[in-house]
A and B are shown apart, each in its own frame.
Chain A
């Protein structure tokens, strides 16, 4: 079979004015680095499951993307991470949600797929399983980045103002 790999790093309103040429170049470089990490596994005969993990780890470890380091903040200024993985040969799959200390959530999703009888684990239970599987843990602060902290601070300020202004300003609605 031919080999190929493709990725995304999130979709949305990516405003050119927010991306200087230098930052844009950083994104292109990190996207290509992650592609090559997975592609070399495919080239050496490795599995697509291993290639996926190698690629996503590069993106989780980069502060540029909303996954792993660089994740957005919850209302309580924490980072709650989710991940899932699936293989097309057996339709086997693994998924986790709401972890806060596992450095690479995609590795935990893969362990759920291969080392447990389940498909999806969540929260503290998922982290207990991660410990059993000797996955790397980090302090919650590892995931923090100034850009995302600023984002949540702005939102919480708006939300506070909305509560004050809500009766008069219907635009301030948060789901």
Chain B
């Protein structure tokens, strides 16, 4: 249970940033 919490919390901390990097790249490519 503890590992699951830490795993989810870690994803919540880092994944938005990673996803954002992809989204920004995609938006830039679309604009170009």
A, B in one complex: no
